[in-house]
Chains A and B, each alone.
Chain A
Amino acid sequence: MRHIISILIENEAGALSRVAGLFSARGYNIESLTVAPTEDPTLSRMTLVTRGTDEVIEQITKQLNKLIDIVKLIDLAEATHVERELMLVKVKTCKESREEINRLAEIFRGKIIDVTSNSYVIEMTGPSDKLDAFVAALDENSIIETVRSGPTGLSRGEKGLHL
């Protein structure tokens, strides 16, 4: 099953490699990983998407908790949560396709953030499957490149992951 593990970690050099190293050493898989400092600059928040049986996920969270730099973590998939991913897509455009791509981006609530005579860069956020759907809807020959942040998320309700 897919799990989204949200981690508060000391914002120190090497902290990220401790997490990445743990996953490779123990043979766990990382589907995606995002990390950035929080409103408290001494802390970073990491969102890690992984897959595994309940036993594997239990070990992953326990092993992560064992890392000295990790302050706290939760498995977002354990309760209701919201998640979003950011994607930028650069597409080739020509006179005939511009309007069509524009409309498609609008339907998916994307924004065109860069325009040249023969390309667009489209920004889009949403759950990962929505981004997948948008990519699928585009003519694959028109895609120059895509970049995705990997999902980040928060649990629903007033509770949160903080010190």
Chain B
Amino acid sequence: MELSGGQIVVQCLKDEGVEYLFGYPGGAVLHLYDAIFHQEDVKHILVRHEQAATHAADAYARATGKPGVVLVTSGPGATNAVTGIATAYMDSIPMVVISGQVPTAVIGSDAFQEVDMVGITRPCVKHNFLVKDVNDIAETMKKAFYVATTGRPGPVVVDIPKDITDPNILVPYKYPKKIKMRSYSPVTKGHPGQIKKAIELLLAAQRPVIYSGGGVILGEGSEELRELTRSLNFPITQTLMGLGAYPATDKQSIGMLGMHGTYEANLAMHESDVILAIGVRFDDRVTGKLAEFCPHSTIIHIDIDPASISKTVKVSVPIVGEVKVVLKQMLELLKEQKKKPSKKALEAWWSRIAQWRSVNCLEFKRDGDLIKPQAVIEQLYEVTKGDAFITSDVGQHQMFAAQFYPFDKPRRWINSGGLGTMGFGLPAAIGVKLAHPDADVACVTGEASIQMCIQELSTALQYKTPVKIINLNNRYMGMVRQWQEFSYESRYSHSYMDTIPDFVKLAEAYGHVGIRVDKPEDVKPALEKAFAMKDRTVFIDIMTDRTENVYPMIESGKGHQEMTLRVAPGTPINRELA
């Protein structure tokens, strides 16, 4: 089969089983777009801004486990995609981004719409390629998908100069079935000796905690995590990225940990003697002050990426391998040994945790005329029966969603945890809805974040992706305002917006349904109405309490034991009191 470079790229996507390609055309990719025009297998989703293409593809990947694929043109098309690439990189999301480049003959001459895409993206991709020969396209594409999806996943950029996709140059095409790279071969199995050590520690633990993260979801280890947690009867806390890997409604779940985690999770971490960390990276939002992180604990860390181990927190038992495989190895060894952890110690530990739980750290004031953002999320949970895909933007609403929508399944909670990219939520919801057309998909956002990619309302109409936008509108950049209240004596420097658009009219202008909610009693009916409209995108603009803060909170630079609770804002809780 002889094909042009443009046709080869598209054929590679077909052979790779790519369902959707998120993109935006431009000069350098016109040959490619012409090749796309002549086929129907790979469905192209035209976004309204390249950033949205990367977020939508990224969320598609998060919701399915399959790589997201993006196509953008050179220069501004490529740079617009960078925020989304960095977002995927920070959360280890498999993604292949094809960017057009100016013709090879003019590379380096500051040609029209030229930018060094390989150079610009180098620090925020797992790997990138510049294709210099049409005969190299197929192998490069195979490598791109292989690198993006294996080991610790991540985005891969393939930069293709325009002349390489020339329709007049035909070359033989064959997509490699397999690829081997001498410089890249990720580990799968964990070291048996290390696993044995880990099991010994776990069985001897008095105050154990399982601390699991996004790696469990990425590595499809949810089932094994459940089995192990249950068979050990240990408490489990999950990171923002890990929510859903273990059911949040289960009694062994002690909630999210970290800056806005639960009191019980953070104090359990602080007082633990053994931590089993799985697919996590000891992010600063999780650990708080490093010097005070888990002072009494021996840490076991399972991760596919050796560089994640002992990066910030020194661990005692590192286990490099795929989470799923390592957990299976651990389960097998546990079964062989037929031993259980000390029942007595665990009983004492659970009763200590129950004490912390009784503080009811997430409680908020429910009466009054103002709509509480937390109550909105609770009602969203009820209306969607806890089974929706929730995407979010970044800020207070993101934390409220994480705290008040208990996820019981993996891949349901889609948010930019690492990079914290405002504007992620709406394009992400579109990507998720394309992946799961029959599921309820809601984007929990705020009036500041939503405006960063609001133009995608247009994409949602074109591709009939009926998502529900839950806009927690507090007329502030809520999280910025909260930090300014706590740390800058309430000097609200530029965190306020007094020219917020009429979102109802805006939604209608884009061809969608807009609903505005001002009273607490109207929230649930509005949500019910919105979710009943199966085939419409609905923008629910909810006027929430302007001064609500996210609690509990570990202020920057403090340790887990120094949480600030709602009870007395600003007063650190003395843990002896609890």
Contacts and interface: CB of A to CB of B under 8 A. Distances in A.
Q: Do A and B form a real pair?
A: yes
A43 B27 CA distance: 36
Interface stretch (B78-86, B115-123, B409-417, B419-427): B115-123
B122 A17 contact: yes
B182 A71 contact: yes
Contact of B183 (A13, A58, A62, A68): A68
Interface stretch (B303-311, B364-372, B455-463, B466-474): B303-311
Contacts of A62: 306-307, 309
Given A59-B307, A66-B307, A68-B126, A14 B118 contact: yes
A103 B119 CA distance: 50
Given A17-B122, A25-B123, A68 B306 contact: no
A24 B145 CA distance: 28
Given A55-B310, A68-B147, A68-B181, A21 B305 contact: no
Contacts of B119: 14, 17
Interface in A55-109: 55, 58-59, 62-63, 65-66, 68-71
Nearest to A21: B122
A14 B107 CA distance: 15
A59 B309 CA distance: 9
A14 B306 contact: no
Interface residues of B, number: 19
Interface in A12-65: 13-14, 17-18, 21, 25, 55, 58-59, 62-63, 65
Interface string B152-191: 0000000000000000000000000000011110000000
B44 interface: no
B149 to A, nearest CB: 13
B183 A71 contact: yes
A58 B182 contact: no
Contacts of A25: 123
Contacts of B310: 55, 58
Contacts of B122: 14, 17-18, 21
A1 interface: no
A69 B307 contact: no
Given A21-B123, A69-B183, A59 B311 contact: yes
Interface string B140-156: 00000001000000000
A21 B127 CA distance: 13
A27 to B, nearest CB: 13
A69 B184 CA distance: 8
B3 interface: no
B130 interface: yes
Interface in B303-322: 305-307, 309-311, 314
Contacts of B305: 66
Nearest to B152: A66
Select the residue from B126, B130, B147, B184 with max chain A CB neighbours within 10 A.
B184
Contacts of B181: 68
A163 interface: yes
Interface string B90-121: 00000000000000000000000000001100
Select the residue from A10, A17, A66, A69 with max chain B CB neighbours within 10 A.
A66
Nearest to B307: A62
Interface string B293-333: 00000000000011101110010000000000000000000
A25 B124 CA distance: 10
Interface in A88-139: none
A68 B184 contact: yes
A14 B130 contact: yes
Interface string B119-140: 1001100110010000000000
Nearest to B124: A25
A63 B307 contact: yes
B50 to A, nearest CB: 23
B182 A163 contact: yes
B157 to A, nearest CB: 12
Contacts of A17: 119, 122
Contacts of A59: 307, 311
Contacts of B307: 59, 62-63, 65-66
A18 B125 CA distance: 11
Interface string B326-352: 000000000000000000000000000
Contacts of B183: 9-10, 68-71
Interface string B231-258: 0000000000000000000000000000
A163 B182 CA distance: 8
A18 B123 CA distance: 8
Contacts of A9: 183
A58 B309 CA distance: 10
Contacts of A65: 306-307
Select the residue from B305, B306, B309 with max chain A CB neighbours within 10 A.
B306
Nearest to A24: B123
Nearest to A69: B183
A14 B159 CA distance: 13
A5 to B, nearest CB: 15
A75 to B, nearest CB: 15
B131 to A, nearest CB: 12
B127 A68 contact: yes
A69 B122 CA distance: 12
Contacts of A66: 305-307
Contacts of A10: 183
Select the residue from B123, B181, B183, B184 with max chain A CB neighbours within 10 A.
B183
B308 to A, nearest CB: 9
A69 to B, nearest CB: 6
Contacts of A68: 126-127, 147, 181, 183-184
Contacts of A69: 127, 183
Contacts of B309: 62
Select the residue from A17, A21, A58, A65 with max chain B CB neighbours within 10 A.
A58
Nearest to B156: A68
List of 8 A-B pairs having minimum Cβ-Cβ separation, nearest first:
A62-B307, A68-B127, A71-B183, A25-B123, A62-B306, A68-B184, A63-B307, A66-B307
14 contacts: A10-B183, A13-B130, A14-B119, A14-B130, A17-B119, A18-B122, A25-B123, A55-B314, A62-B306, A62-B307, A66-B306, A68-B147, A68-B184, A69-B127
Interface of B: 118-119, 122-123, 126-127, 130, 147, 181-184, 305-307, 309-311, 314
Given A13-B130, A65-B306, A65-B307, 5 more contacts: A17-B119, A59-B307, A66-B305, A66-B306, A68-B147
